[in-house]
């Protein structure tokens, strides 16, 4: 895999859902809150159900930069306003723009369970879906990093519109850089994605990109013997 300028679609990915993410969406703090046996049984049931329903898909492409400022990235005819991004990501050559989804089936099952008043399982399955798409975004971030290393480049952590001061309205600009249509993700006028269990993301790419203060992707990355690993692998998001 390289860092291609053309749209790339990945499907049937061997995604592993991080159990810690599921419990985080349930409000558990790792190392502090311990779920009881009832919660764990529900967790196991929802995780197995979720794994049978998810359809992980990713679309992404690399886009060359045409400009960069302390809080601005220009690429592909779009101007993205992201607070402190020049300091956080350093000098870039390009960005990787991507969208990932685990599909609509898991949401539909959550709705059915809700209608059947099976509320604890519905809520846990919804957390499984949220954790699955977060794990998938990590998976995509790791894939991009692995590909960039082979090309002598570095890839930053991912960010998304609506987080860290990046205006949600710029979701539309991100979709112009990388449309969701090839994986069935649509954006409405309020910048909400359908299916709901979808994440759009941007990463910075370049030989001088700053990665020294980001460790999350390494902790879940499955790449063996990576000479650039910044943190030990604690789990993996690949089966």
* Footprint on this chain of ligand SF4 (rule: CB under 6 A): 142, 145-146, 149, 217-218, 221, 223, 226, 228-230
Query: Taking the complex as a whole, how short is the minimal distance between the CB of residue 10 and ligand SF4, in angstroms?
Result: 16
Q: Closest CB to ligand SF4 among 175 and 214?
A: 214
Q: Closest CB to ligand SF4 among 81 and 230?
A: 230
Query: Taking the complex as a whole, how short is the minimal distance between the CB of residue 15 and ligand SF4, in angstroms?
Result: 16
Residue position matching structure tokens 């101007």: 79
Contacts of residue 51, Cβ cutoff 8 Å, sequence gap at least 6: 17
Three-state DSSP state, 40? helix
Smallest CA-to-CA distance from 126 within 137, 144, 113, 145 is with: 113
Q: Closest CB to ligand SF4 among 127 and 156?
A: 156
Query: Taking the complex as a whole, how short is the minimal distance between the CB of residue 227 and ligand SF4, in angstroms?
Result: 8
Q: Closest CB to ligand SF4 among 125 and 209?
A: 209
Q: Closest CB to ligand SF4 among 26 and 217?
A: 217
Query: Taking the complex as a whole, how short is the minimal distance between the CB of residue 89 and ligand SF4, in angstroms?
Result: 15
Asked whether 94 and 62 are in contact (CB, 8 A), the reply is yes
Q: Closest CB to ligand SF4 among 110 and 218?
A: 218
Cα distance between residue 80 and residue 93, in whole Å: 15
Smallest CA-to-CA distance from 217 within 197, 202, 237, 239 is with: 237
In this structure, what are the phi and psi dihedrals at residue 53, rounded to the nearest 5 degrees?
-105, -25
How far is C-alpha 97 from the chain's CA centre? 11
Query: Taking the complex as a whole, how short is the minimal distance between the CB of residue 143 and ligand SF4, in angstroms?
Result: 9
Query: Taking the complex as a whole, how short is the minimal distance between the CB of residue 55 and ligand SF4, in angstroms?
Result: 24
Cβ-based neighbour number of residue 192 at 10 Å: 12
Joined together, the tokens standing for residue 96 give 């990787």
């Amino acid at each position: 895999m390289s860092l291609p300028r053309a749209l790339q679609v990945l499907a049937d990915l061997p995604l592993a859902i991080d159990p810690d993410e599921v419990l985080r969406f349930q409000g558990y703090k790792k190392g502090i809150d311990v779920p009881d046996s009832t919660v764990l049984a529900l967790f196991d049931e929802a995780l197995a159900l979720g794994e049978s329903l998810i359809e992980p898909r990713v679309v992404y492409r690399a886009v060359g930069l045409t400009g960069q400022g302390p809080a601005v990235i220009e690429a592909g005819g779009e101007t993205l306003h992201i607070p402190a991004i020049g300091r956080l990501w350093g000098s870039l050559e390009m960005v990787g723009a991507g969208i990932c989804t685990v599909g609509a089936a898991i949401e539909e099952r959550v709705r059915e369970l809700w209608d059947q008043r099976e509320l604890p399982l519905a809520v846990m399955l919804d957390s499984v879906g949220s954790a699955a798409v977060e794990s998938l975004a990590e998976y995509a971030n790791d894939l991009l990093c692995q590909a960039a290393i082979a090309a002598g480049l570095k890839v930053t952590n991912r960010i998304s519109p609506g987080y860290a001061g990046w205006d949600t309205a710029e979701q539309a600009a991100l979709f112009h850089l990388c449309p969701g249509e090839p994986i069935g993700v649509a954006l409405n006028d309020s910048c909400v994605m359908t299916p709901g269990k979808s994440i759009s993301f941007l990463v910075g790419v370049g030989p001088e990109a700053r990665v020294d203060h980001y460790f999350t992707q390494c902790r879940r990355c499955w790449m063996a013997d990576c000479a650039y690993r910044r943190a030990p692998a604690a789990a993996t998001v690949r089966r």
